[in-house]
Chain A
Amino acid sequence: GAGVSQSPSNKVTEKGKDVELRCDPISGHTALYWYRQSLGQGLEFLIYFQGNSAPDKSGLPSDRFSAERTGGSVSTLTIQRTQQEDSAVYLCASSHNNAGLKFGPGTRLTVL
Chain B
Amino acid sequence: DAKTTQPTSMDCAEGRAANLPCNHSTISGNEYVYWYRQIHSQGPQYIIHGLKNNETNEMASLIITEDRKSSTLILPHATLRDTAVYYCIVRVPRNQAGTALIFGKGTTLSVSS
Which A residues are closer than 8 A to B by beta carbons? 30-31, 33, 35, 42-43, 45, 48, 50-51, 53-56, 58-59, 91, 93, 95, 97-106
Contacts and interface: CB of A to CB of B under 8 A. Distances in A.
Main secondary structure on A side of the interface with B = loop
Main secondary structure on B side of the interface with A = loop
Contacts of A105: 43
| Most A-side CB within 10 Å, residue of B32, B36, B46, B101 | B101
Given A42-B104, A42-B105, A45-B102, A100 B49 contact: yes
Interface string B7-36: 000000000000000000000000010101
A102 B43 CA distance: 9
Nearest to B97: A53
Given A97-B94, A98-B93, A100-B36, A45 B44 contact: no
